[in-house]
Chains A and B, each alone.
Chain A
Amino acid sequence: MTIERLLAATCAVRPAGDEDAVDGVPSQVVARPASAQETSALLRTCSAHGLAVVVRGHGSKLGWGRPPERVDVVLETGAMAQLVEHSRGDLVATAGAGMPLSRLRHLLAGARHELVVDDLAVGRGTTAGGSTLGGAVATNLSGPRRLRAGPLRDLVIGVRLVLADGTVARAGGKVVKNVAGYDLGKLVTGSFGTLAVITEVTVRLHPEPSEVRQVHALVPRGRLAPVLAHLVAGQLAPHTLDLHARPGKDVRVSVGLGGGPGSTQRRADLLAAELSAPGLAGDAVAVADPERTDLQEVAPVVPGAAPRSTDEEVAGRPTLLTVTARLSGIPELVQVANDHGLTVTGSAGVGALRATLPEPTPVPAVLEAVAAVRAATTGLGGSTVVLDAPPAVKSALDPAGTWGPVPGLELMRRVKAQFDPGRTLAPGRFVGGL
């Protein structure tokens, strides 16, 4: 019996094509369960037969992490994409894991609600559909507006999971305030599909601000530290505080404000005046009146994301790092990264940023840059992860080279062994080769 026939009893299945390979690892079939029950039947059969399963939404971030050791089945979440509930008065929504973030935004817009997460993979993946809700959660997608609403893991208030053995389980619920039982939603957020298949997610929503404004400043390198310190210590309650630093150029610092009509513009004007002071950004300050969606697309330096201007476009498959540091260490991190040819983008208000090197960079130079940045971030209380890279770079890295030092790795091994003892789910994709 072929895998296709074996699994056909559980859900819709088709043979995999070249485009279904996971980070270069070919798959045999693509399965498309339409419910948690079908997912359960599918995983149960896969576990029993030792088939490796990789979950895919739109595949927009499927190259992130390590290539899996093996792939037999790509489990597509596209048939679990419905909006289950949008409880307007409660500011919560429940949707299938396959729900595209772009569609969710559209569905919530009528109520002027939003899930505050920035899709850094806009325009990527199958049908150029960007991230799905499940994919966003599985990779702990983090963007500029996280400063306002917190990381995605804090917005996930309930999950439905299917374990490799077919167990269907729920954790959390549909109320924001809830401390009953372990928060498995946090455990699976950022787990890269290696603990369980997320089939449904309940999220906390925020009201859209009536007005948004952005203040951009071009900051000479020597003044980056005082400018960031000034902004961090301010009482602006900005929704975003991002920077964009290219080697050899002034650093663009962008502050996004959101609030009531009129007051937001006034605050933006006040901030611009403040930043224009000698010793801070000087003359290079501008207030922008963006379409509100610009707030989330201000920093599209992730490869393939729709860039706002051509000079920001990153061609091919660059090496993409996530880099973190304590807030006061960000100027140093930026300098080290820029010195090694990396462009740095991300939230200077949160301390979570990304750094990219263009694809043509020779492998030894990439590895040297990674090592230098990692040494810097480790000294600054943070970490460096090679999220994505060209195949030549990836194959030159082992799991430790990809993920860097992982505090608590031994406990993580034990967690993986409990949730997925047969290593059915994306074996090898995550930290420590889990």
Chain B
Amino acid sequence: MTQTDARTGIPALLQELRGLLPDHVLVTDPAERETYACDGLAAYRVRPALVVLVESADHVAQVLRSCARHHVPFVARGSGTGLSGGALPHADGVLVVTSRLRTLHEVRAQDQRAVVDPGVVNLAVSKAAHPHGYYFAPDPSSQQICSVGGNVAENSGGAHCLKYGFTAGHVLSLEVVTPDGEQVTLGTEAPDPPGYDLLGAFVGSEGTLGVATRATLRLTRLPEEVRTCLAGFASTDEAGAATSAIIAAGIVPAAMEIMDALAIEAAEAAVSCGYPEGAGAVLVVELDGPALEVEGELEQVRRICREQRAVEFRTATDAAERAEIWRGRKSAFAAVGRISPDYIVQDGVVPRTALPEVLREMGRISADRGVRVANVFHAGDGNLHPLVLFDADEEGATGRAEEVSGMILDLCIAHGGSITGEHGVGADKARYMPRMFEPADLDTMQLLRCAFDPDGLANPGKIYPTPRMCGERPRVVHAADEPAVGGAEVF
């Protein structure tokens, strides 16, 4: 498809949609369209050619059918909080905004299920389930505003996915509109529907396989007991060693988070969270489950932290103190704004055992390049969120920060990790995919894309840098290239 095709496509598409959809859902005004030019990754901006504020699954199907007819690309967007540019619009395409699909259809505690529309905010599900003693386990930091549809697209995680897993483990069924405009249900409200696990493949596909219009979610029983503790250490080395020792002891905490000195400094400046003074690292551990088990585990964690030379150990005794401990951690990203005018939030993963070495190497890169890096990370699963600090007004600083940010990803790959643990590949990291995967790996993933979206209209340019055209096979196998086989013995 060429750009010319798409540009001529939009007017025809718009004319068609005017006949099918109410006027108020079509946003054509350039200034209004500009407000949708970026998602949570503001470094990239593209004004979409058309914005549709869909109000039903039928609207989504109408838009996608029209897009297919006119060969116009489309991008779906929920709350627009994604950090990898997954909802970055296409200049010649339609932006399908699902945030008006906000109906929370039902909460059925006895079945541990909730049925919601994609624009429903993540936290709203937990709030609705809470009176019944349940919650929705995936808890990305943006959970007060991010949408379930976005969680589905990105396979969102959060601090507690160490124990409870990612969004993919909490979605039982999805109603989706495929890029040809068909409405299809993937999965059933019970587990293990017959057939290929297309649901599992769809979750985390970053909007490249279609648009989800309704989700049946798994609700998780609130734990009987939650205990949160905080340990201060001289450096991230000791904090990391404590993390490893906790895992080695057979404990699976609900969350295990580490902040380094620079991140602590930022958090203190922003919210005065009262973390141990002079600590080179803090480790936050949250344990949950049956009260009898949690008490025993807490004692073990306390002992391990002491053995790893914790300078301080405190345990929250009530919900308010627990919130206090989390306040510093949760404010860390925004807090970095207090100590640096600009920063890049990176998201990479390394095997947990490689953490100390990776942190040291990161420190060397940071010193070499003269770029400060604050570290906040989900230590339990090796998911790093380095914050690369810079001042865009300083000449060359942006370039240096981007270079350091990229070097951190290379470090993750070199240690057998991943270029993204929860923010997604999106527009931001597509160029790194060939560093993590071989061409054959990417081509094989593309086969799934071709089954859903042969024309490449769904969120093109995301995840995969230069996808092969569908139908184009690099290695067609011909019998003529193979040893000859004589007749009947074979067939």
Contact = CB atoms under 8 A, between A and B. Distances in A.
Contacts of B289: 237, 259
Residue picked from B196, B290, B295, B451, most chain A C-beta under 10 Å:
B196
A102 interface: no
B489 A2 contact: yes
B196 A259 contact: no
Given A324-B190, A382-B190, A177 B381 contact: yes
B445 A415 contact: no
A153 B199 CA distance: 12
B178 A175 contact: no
Interface string A230-245: 0011111100000000
B421 A177 contact: yes
Nearest to B224: A235
A179 B293 contact: no
B320 interface: no
Residue picked from B108, B186, B482, most chain A C-beta under 10 Å:
B482
- Chain B interface size, as a band, is 35 or more
Contacts of B438: 169-170
B187 interface: yes
Interface in A322-340: 322, 324-329
A259 B441 contact: no
Given A1-B485, A187-B448, A382-B188, A177 B383 contact: yes
Interface residues of A, number: 106
Contacts of A207: 247, 250-252
Nearest to B156: A179
Residue picked from A50, A182, A210, most chain B C-beta under 10 Å:
A182
Contacts of B489: 1-3
A119 interface: no
A205 to B, nearest CB: 11
B482 A175 contact: no
A289 interface: no
B258 interface: no
Contact of A181 (B248, B251, B463): B463
A393 B80 CA distance: 53
Nearest to A407: B185
A208 B490 CA distance: 50
Interface in A183-228: 183-184, 186-187, 189-191, 195, 206-210
B293 A260 contact: yes
Contact of B188 (A191, A328, A383, A403): A383
B381 A175 contact: yes
B118 interface: no
B458 interface: no
Nearest to B448: A182
Nearest to B178: A411
B191 interface: yes
Interface string B14-57: 00000000000000000000000000000000000000000000
Contacts of B168: 154, 183, 186
A182 B475 contact: no
Given A2-B489, A407-B184, A237 B290 contact: yes
Given A89-B352, A90-B352, A263-B296, A179 B420 contact: yes
B411 to A, nearest CB: 13
A45 B490 CA distance: 12
Given A6-B485, A267-B292, A173 B191 contact: no
B198 A179 contact: no
Interface in B202-220: 203-205
Contacts of A322: 192
Contacts of B203: 183
Nearest to B216: A381
A418 interface: yes
A44 B351 CA distance: 35
A107 interface: no
A88 B352 CA distance: 10
Interface string B387-429: 0000000000000000000000000000011111111110001
19 contacts: A3-B490, A48-B477, A49-B479, A142-B192, A153-B197, A154-B168, A179-B154, A182-B201, A186-B200, A237-B221, A237-B293, A326-B111, A326-B189, A329-B111, A381-B111, A383-B188, A408-B186, A410-B182, A430-B195
Interface of B: 108-113, 133, 154-155, 157, 161, 165-166, 168-169, 178, 182, 184-198, 200-201, 203-205, 221-224, 244, 247-248, 250-252, 289-290, 292-293, 295-297, 349-353, 378, 381-383, 416-425, 429, 433, 436-438, 440-445, 447-452, 463-464, 473, 475-479, 481-486, 489-491
Given A49-B485, A174-B351, A383-B193, 6 more contacts: A48-B479, A48-B482, A166-B475, A167-B444, A179-B420, A260-B292
